[in-house]
């Protein structure tokens, strides 16, 4: 399918790869769920985007959130930017660079496939 876009998230590599037509276009460091709030494996689709989301569960901002599985989303994380790999997320896929998160948010429309493995 021409123009096919996919976000592939590898827990083993701790990477999020943005792909178009089967080719890796960009790769970013990614942080996943902490023990007890693991990011689920599977094939999902982005069903909602919110540029300035606020989590009422964790009381944190989630800039450039792209929701793909219930409350789980790909988004920028200030905690990841500040502390690196020291903590995990509440199940989301964290991106540590705000510009990268913004770039992804602009590239990924609702309906884009998200593969977590």
Which residues are known catalytic residues? 75, 92
Contact between 46 and 112 under an 8 Å Cβ cutoff? The reply is yes
Rg (CA), the chain: 13
Contact between 9 and 18 under an 8 Å Cβ cutoff? The reply is no
**In whole angstroms, what is the distance from residue 110 CA to residue 74 CA?**
12
Give the three-class secondary structure for 39.
coil
């Amino acid at each position: 399918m021409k123009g096919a876009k996919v976000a592939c998230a590898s827990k083993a590599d701790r990477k999020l790869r943005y792909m178009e037509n089967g080719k890796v276009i960009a790769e970013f460091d990614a942080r996943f769920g902490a023990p007890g709030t693991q990011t689920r494996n599977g094939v999902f689709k982005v069903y909602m985007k919110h540029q300035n989301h606020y989590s009422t569960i964790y009381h944190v901002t989630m800039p450039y959130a792209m929701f793909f599985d219930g409350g789980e989303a790909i988004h920028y994380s200030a905690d990841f930017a500040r502390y690196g790999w020291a903590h995990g997320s509440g199940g989301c896929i964290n991106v540590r660079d705000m510009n990268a998160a913004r770039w992804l948010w602009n590239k990924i429309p609702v309906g884009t496939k998200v593969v977590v493995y």
